[in-house]
Chain A
Amino acid sequence: MDDRSFVAGQAFILAAKNYWTREIYPALEAGFRQRTADSGTSVEKPGQVEDLIGDTTLYRYYAWLERHLQRFKYSGRYGLQPYHDERRDELHQRLPADLPPGLLELNPDLETPGSFTAVDIHQHPGGVWSDPIAGFVYERGARSTTPLAGQTHRDLHQRLADHIAEGGTPECILDLGCGFGKSTRPFRETFRDAEIHGVDISAPCLEVAAMDAAETQARNLQYRQMNAAATDYPDARFDLVTSTMLVHEMPPAEIEAVLDETYRVLAPGGRMVYLDFLPADDAFHRFIHYGHARRNNEPYMEPLAGLDLPAILRGRGFVDIDIRPFEEADGTLDSAYPNWRFPWVVITAAKAV
């Protein structure tokens, strides 16, 4: 497939997703609020939302489009996977042969957790962990994950770095589940003197991260292939441990293991800051979020939402626990914001001094 057709196909899919975001979702929510008002009953559970709108034509198309636009994006004729698959050799050439020493450390013997390999997360065929070109596919796809954002990754990840900066300047950062380095880059740019470590289980993603780091002559940066639940860092090594969109990819037992590891590697007084998704305490938003999880091959989003995170964090010895909505773009937390969005939250806690 030629480049022009790929870009046109992806642009069409994105435009359709934008229409869904700005027109179909708002119409769906407005219709639901109206039905609730008309019925006079108080709707407290997602099941009740299903009863009210589940068999409406608008909801069926809303759901169909959510699943299938993503399928088209990844697996369709103009999809990310076939496009990159056709260019496999060329992509292989792009992977850096000579990296600065210490920048990238892979571990071919690392076992990928069954929880991660059982399902093709967010409908990426083959997942991000097995195919050598998966990092390129994921990176390209991530440019339009938040449909209304611009083409660069910078905005919401930069906002997280800014948020962290408000609480002080970290000197030694561990970015868990760093992927291809999308979340790590703003940390490098915002905390220029910090020592930064990014870990992930996906070698294909880490290779793309290292490529980007080498091209931008990063210093004080290491990308290493390991499981966030079992790193080889010594106790109290970091004053900041972060993750971005990591924990919703794990079942509760693994999340708890990652939190244990986070606590262990944090220095006293150090912070953990996780950016992820938790639906608002509203039946409609839970209904939408759990539906998204089912439709987008995200089996762990709903279990995460069911956890008592403050209790789990307290149980591990964390203090100053704070979980609050995160404004990923201007105006998205306004009560009148009409468009579909991920329910971003930032989870912060500290290790007692």
Chain B
Amino acid sequence: MSEPQAEQSFFEDEALDRAFGVVMALATEVYVLRDRTHALEKLLTDKGIIDAGALDVEPDAAALAERGADREAFVAHLMQNLLGIQMSRGAG
């Protein structure tokens, strides 16, 4: 390309055009990862290295609880952004 041109805009706020691009890029990556994980599990199962059935089983209460802190941190990382509060002391 000789000179970059501004992308077309479909929303009143161009920020939304760009943010949605990030969302769709992330969605594509999630799907590619998901596809690969599935392929990995199948390959390992076919070779007898893992038991796919064991992977699919509902975790017991202990296992769920063990992952609880990690899960909370994941959600907080995501949703803290919605509070719109400064995390360090700013000038204003």
Contacts and interface: CB of A to CB of B under 8 A. Distances in A.
- A and B are partners in one complex rather than unrelated chains: yes
Interface string A5-18: 10011011100100
The 4 closest A-B pairs by CB, nearest first: A8-B35, A12-B31, A64-B10, A63-B10
A67 B8 CA distance: 9
Given A4-B39, A77-B25, A125-B1, A64 B32 contact: no
A5 B39 CA distance: 11
B28 A13 contact: yes
Interface string B29-45: 10110011001000000
A88 interface: no
A61 B19 CA distance: 12
Contacts of A12: 27-28, 31-32
Interface of B: 1, 8, 10-12, 17, 20-21, 24-25, 27-29, 31-32, 35-36, 39
Q: Is the interface of A mostly helix, strand, loop or mixed?
A: helix
B11 A60 contact: yes
Interface residues of A, number: 23
Given A4-B39, A295-B8, A64 B31 contact: no
A338 interface: no
Contact of B28 (A4, A63, A72): A72
Contacts of A55: 12
Given A76-B25, A76-B28, A8 B36 contact: yes
Q: Is the interface of B mostly helix, strand, loop or mixed?
A: helix
B35 A4 contact: yes
Given A12-B28, A72-B28, A77-B25, A4 B36 contact: yes
Interface of A: 4-5, 8-9, 11-13, 16, 55, 60-61, 63-64, 67-69, 72, 76-78, 125, 294-295
A5 B10 contact: no
Given A4-B39, A12-B32, 9 more contacts: A4-B36, A8-B36, A11-B31, A12-B28, A60-B11, A68-B21, A72-B24, A77-B25, A294-B8
Contacts of A67: 8, 10
Nearest to B11: A60
A11 B1 CA distance: 27
A78 B28 contact: yes
11 contacts: A5-B32, A12-B27, A61-B20, A63-B10, A64-B20, A68-B20, A68-B24, A69-B24, A72-B28, A76-B28, A77-B25
